[in-house]
Amino acid sequence: MTPEEVLKLAKENGVKIVDFKFSDLPGTWQHFSVPVHVLSEDLFTEGLPFDGSSVRGFQAINESDMLVIPDANTAFLDPFTAVPTLSLTCDIAHPGPAGSQKPYSRDPRYIAKKAEAYLRSTGIADTVFVGPEAEFYIFDNVRYASQDNIQYAEIDSEESQWNSRGKDGVRNLGHLMNVKGGYFPVAPNDTHQDLRTEMVLNLEALGITVEAHHHEVGAAGQCEIDYKFGPLLDTADKLMLFKYVIKNTAHKYGKSVTFMPKPVYGDNGSGMHTHQSLWKDEKPLFFDAEGYANLSKLARYYIGGILSHAPSILAIAAPSTNSYKRLVPGFEAPVNLVFSQGNRSAAVRIPRTESAKATRMEFRPPDPTANPYLLFSALLMAGLDGIRNEIDPSQYGYGPVDKDLYSMTPEELSEISSVPGSLDEALKALENDHAYLLEGGVFTPDLLEKYIELKREQADQVRLRPAPIEFSMYYDA
């Protein structure tokens, strides 16, 4: 869309409010709204001022004046507002003359734009396609508190086996799911078919092409909706919109969605497996019919870059303390730093295909708490570093490994590196290994320093609080 077309869209649909959305540094949408009469073509170059000091990871109080500059290509009519509302995703900039404002170095969307530009500048490829699979849980009730004298969290799902005895005064019809029994059951066990369908229809109405939806393994309402891959920036924008649509559609049904990686003890966590491939002049670069799993040498180098930098990538890909309750060795979690065409506990899986266009690599450790702009950019930068330095994963002990990892002896497993075991470990890795992110000025030191500071504060908040299980284990000591 052009700014002129956006104004036309607003007029034709009786829009009364315009909503400006942007990502904070951790990756959550923020917004503010104005009456439609404020919208003009000049706004798309001049921007609108806002206070950046209260946004996580942004400005200090003494330098808080910032601008949102809307991107006309992101316009959509919000299906969840009572009043006709036009939504626009924005870039962040410092105040300045129209059209020449300095982009803000900590704007995640700016990082993604720079990553795509850097890719083109290398001459290696002109497009990186990204396809994330963001899993989520749908709950019927959520309660939690963290106070000086109270630490608890309680969730409920009408699908889960813990409701097999029913609730007082409410009939129980059975048809519940056992732990890890949620993969592909039909109704009445799968109670979310209609809800997911409405989510899909809302997504498609907003330009996100859905490929499939289904119940996931987690018995307490875990679900997945897969949508078509796309270029880096466009896919990151769509993932932000995806989460917005999923949460608000569920809210309409009186249900709550969380993208937390491990909200339920003892059942599957929610990941965000991220598929990637490089293309140039509309031709795929990852395919070679003679290569392992049909991978080209360039694809292997790309994988080598990601695996060699994986510990530091995890600080961005699995950026919460909760992430490491999902990434636990010995289960199905993708904690092993190897690549494989079959193993789902490998950090990098190669989906089996004979199609050159469909040949890709899948990085499995990420989860949906990641900021997609930062995650997709970091993966691209690591992959390009692997290509530039010709890092063949086989020469560095990263596989391929096609043997069942669960049948391997402790001695065999000891030769395979694992992802960090905590957010603190991942942040230390990022501090020690980030030069590849700074190439071409894509990431900047001030962004990484602020990001690490924010995440360390979160880790400290968790570390300082007693957990309920500790009372069970130690109260009578």
Give me the amino acid identity at 19: D
Of 120, 175, 251, 344, the catalytic one is 344
Q: Determine the Cα angle at 370 with ends 413 and 200, to 5°.
A: 110
CB 179 within 8 A of CB 264: no
Burial class of residue 125 in the structure, from the number of CB atoms within 10 Å of its CB (0-12 exposed, 13-18 middle, 19+ buried): buried
Is 268 annotated in a binding site? The answer is yes
Is 332 annotated in a binding site? The answer is yes
Is 211 annotated in a binding site? The answer is yes
Q: Which residues have C-beta within 8 Å of that of residue 296, sequence separation ≥ 6?
A: 285, 286, 287, 288
Which DSSP helix (H) or strand (E) runs through 283?
strand 283-284
Beta bridge partners of 280: 283
Residue 145, phi then psi, degrees to nearest 5: -155, 145
Is 344 annotated in a binding site? The answer is yes
- 415 in active site: no
**Cα distance between residue 285 and residue 227, in whole Å:** 22
Cα 168 versus chain centre, distance: 39
- 133 in active site: yes
Of 5, 41, 51, 194, the catalytic one is 51
Is 59 annotated in a binding site? The answer is no
- 362 in active site: yes
Beta bridge partners of 273: 133
Is 277 annotated in a binding site? The answer is yes
The tokens describing 72, both together, are 């006309």
Is 276 annotated in a binding site? The answer is yes
Give me the amino acid identity at 443: F
Of 140, 159, 216, 385, the catalytic one is 216
Closest CA to 134 of 270, 279, 18: 270
Is 428 annotated in a binding site? The answer is no
List alpha helices for 220-359, DSSP H: 232-252, 297-308, 310-317
Is 136 annotated in a binding site? The answer is no
Of 24, 158, 190, 224, the catalytic one is 224
Of 273, 309, 349, 360, the catalytic one is 273
Is 364 annotated in a binding site? The answer is yes
Is 362 annotated in a binding site? The answer is yes
Q: Determine the Cα angle at 364 with ends 369 and 281, to 5°.
A: 100
Of 349, 360, 364, 434, the catalytic one is 364
Of 107, 133, 237, 367, the catalytic one is 133
Is 229 annotated in a binding site? The answer is yes
Is 4 annotated in a binding site? The answer is no
Strands 17-23 and 85-93: parallel
Of 91, 107, 362, 367, the catalytic one is 362
Is 251 annotated in a binding site? The answer is no
Burial class of residue 415 in the structure, from the number of CB atoms within 10 Å of its CB (0-12 exposed, 13-18 middle, 19+ buried): exposed
Q: Which residues of 437-454 are buried (b: 16+ CB within 10 A; e: fewer)?
A: beeeebbbeebbebbbeb
The tokens describing 200, both together, are 């899909």
Is 135 annotated in a binding site? The answer is yes
Q: On the CB side of 289, how many CA atoms lie within 13 Å of its CA?
A: 2
Of 135, 237, 367, 385, the catalytic one is 135
Is 196 annotated in a binding site? The answer is no
- 411 in active site: no
- 216 in active site: yes
Active site residues: 51, 133, 135, 216, 224, 273, 344, 362, 364
Q: Which residues contribute to the annotated binding site for L-glutamate?
A: 268-269, 326, 332, 344, 364
Q: Which residues contribute to the annotated binding site for Mg(2+)?
A: 133, 135, 216, 224, 273, 362
Q: Which residues contribute to the annotated binding site for ATP?
A: 211, 227-229, 275-277, 344, 357
Q: Which residues contribute to the annotated binding site?
A: 133, 135, 211, 216, 224, 227-229, 268-269, 273, 275-277, 326, 332, 344, 357, 362, 364
